[in-house]
């Protein structure tokens, strides 16, 4: 017979402290049958829970056969005065040690590696939420989460070889057909006993049915307060409006935006043609989910790689990713296609450099002998140049503009630079 055990600290009726606040007293409530196995105390086990006005973050129920752990269930509890509300637990943590393969020659971890881990953690969290027990009980189909938009991501601190990367992801808001996942990345040095926050990210996913590939509804989320729900709704409306504007600009863009005819070999240093770069990647099964679509983290990693090439070629020195503007994923990328990435300089200041990355996908039809091409996504990456002596930021060589189109892109980049600078100043004042 199975025996359900709740974590000892949560079963205790003594006065204890938790992240939810100080616990006043205990009360008992019947766990739903779907979280138990018939035969445990007659199928209606009474388990002591902690009563508090705040949210108890997580309960883990362990199932044993004798002394052997057979399985466990993990779910969130939000407790009120007279009831307990169950919400799907979407929290995940992805951890790995940073190796020399993940870094540049100076030991700095590539920004693309971090973006890939952020995308993987977000995918697991969103897919886990959409396929929860509550979702299945409502008759929802099995689905997977497709990345639709990655909000601006700042690289607050660098990560180095030998550190442990801990990527935490959790669903924080849901609409009818999309959900927001907030991701935080920490770098832990176990030798020194230190831990640093390196990245924050906000990702938006849409659930796609495994059976027919159509977008399905997202299970409703229960919020701890009306304020949290309202803040999430404002973030949803903001990203929806920005995404609509970005898609319109992309559709109006000229499709054939690749190398000039005179080539890189004859281009003058510190010009756009001199540093522009491209990368072609054949999509293999290792790049895709089980459903045959490229993971968003894989695409972001490739974008960071080609953008980094541009920054290094222009600065002629090591460069690291400072931030990534919002990335809109216009099309899902399927297996067996070709990803063509094109990157070029758009703006330089004294301390930073902006690189635009365009991502197209090509599908080759062997029967019709045709190539189908479409724009998958695009974004702006910001880099800083580092001195090889002490790794401190150094001055960026100014960009030489040759055409009117480059001048217009430079002006647009300057406006984005001022907007980001104003946003950073607002955040500093708010923290102060």
What kind and span of H or E run contains 112? helix 111-130
Other Cβ atoms within 10 Å of 151 Cβ, number: 19
> Closest by alpha carbon to 311, among 272, 335, 275?
275
| Site of tokens 């001048």 | 407
* Cβ contacts of 67 within 8 Å, gap of 6 or more: none
Other Cβ atoms within 10 Å of 415 Cβ, number: 10
Radius of gyration of the chain (CA): 25
| Site of tokens 């993990």 | 74
DSSP assignment of 196-219, as one string?
EEEEEEEEEEEEEETTT--B-PPP
Residue 104 known to be catalytic:
yes
| Dist. CA 178–CA 183, nearest whole Å | 16
Residue 360 known to be catalytic:
no
Residues 277, 282, 285, 290, CA torsion sign = positive
Contact 255, 278 (CB under 8 A): no
Q: How far is CA 329 from CA 151, 204, 399, 421, in A?
A: 11, 10, 29, 26
Catalytic residue among 89, 246, 304, 325: 304
| Dist. CA 302–CA 280, nearest whole Å | 9
Residue 69 C-alpha from the chain's centroid = 33
Residue 270: which region, alpha, beta or left (left: phi > 0; alpha: psi -120 to 50)?
left
User: Would you name the residues annotated as active-site residues?
Assistant: 104, 304
């Amino acid at each position: 017979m199975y025996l359900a055990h709740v974590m000892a600290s949560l079963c205790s009726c003594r006065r204890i402290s938790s992240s939810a606040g100080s616990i006043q007293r205990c009360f008992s409530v019947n766990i739903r049958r779907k979280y138990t196995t018939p035969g445990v105390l007659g199928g209606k086990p009474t388990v002591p829970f902690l009563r508090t006005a705040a949210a108890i973050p997580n309960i883990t129920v362990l199932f044993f056969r004798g002394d052997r752990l057979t399985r466990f269930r993990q779910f969130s509890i939000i407790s009120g005065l007279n009831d307990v509300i169950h919400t799907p637990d979407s929290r995940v943590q992805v951890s790995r040690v940073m190796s020399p393969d993940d870094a540049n020659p100076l030991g700095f971890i590539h920004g693309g590696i971090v973006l890939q881990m952020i995308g993987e953690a977000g995918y697991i969290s969103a897919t886990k939420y959409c396929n929860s027990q509550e979702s299945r009980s409502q008759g929802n189909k099995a689905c997977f989460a497709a990345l639709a938009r990655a909000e601006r991501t700042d690289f607050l601190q660098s990560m180095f070889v030998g550190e442990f990367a801990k990527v935490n992801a959790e669903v924080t808001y849901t609409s009818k057909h999309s959900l927001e996942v907030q991701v935080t990345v920490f770098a832990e040095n176990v030798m020194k006993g230190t831990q640093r926050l390196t990245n924050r990210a906000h990702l938006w996913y849409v659930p796609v049915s495994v059976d027919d590939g159509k977008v399905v509804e997202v299970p409703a989320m229960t919020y701890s307060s009306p304020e949290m729900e309202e803040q999430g709704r404002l973030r949803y409306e903001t990203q929806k409006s920005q995404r609509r504007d970005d898609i319109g600009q992309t559709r109006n863009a000229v499709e054939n935006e690749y190398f000039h005819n005179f080539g890189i070999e004859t281009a003058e240093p510190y010009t756009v043609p001199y540093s522009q770069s491209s990368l072609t990647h054949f999509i293999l099964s290792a790049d895709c989910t089980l459903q045959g679509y490229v993971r968003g983290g894989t695409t972001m990693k490739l974008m960071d790689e080609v953008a980094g090439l541009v920054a290094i070629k222009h600065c002629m020195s090591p460069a690291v990713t400072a931030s990534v503007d919002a990335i809109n994923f216009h099309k899902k990328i399927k297996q067996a296609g070709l990803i063509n990435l094109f990157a070029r300089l758009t703006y330089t200041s004294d301390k930073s450099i902006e690189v635009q990355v365009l991502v197209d996908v090509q599908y080759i039809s062997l029967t019709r002998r045709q190539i189908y091409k479409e724009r998958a996504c695009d974004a702006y990456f910001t880099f800083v140049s580092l001195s090889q002596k002490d790794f401190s930021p150094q001055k960026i060589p100014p960009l030489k503009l040759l055409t009117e189109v480059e001048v217009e892109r430079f002006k647009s980049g300057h406006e984005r630079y001022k907007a980001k600078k104003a946003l950073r100043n607002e955040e500093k004042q708010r923290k102060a």
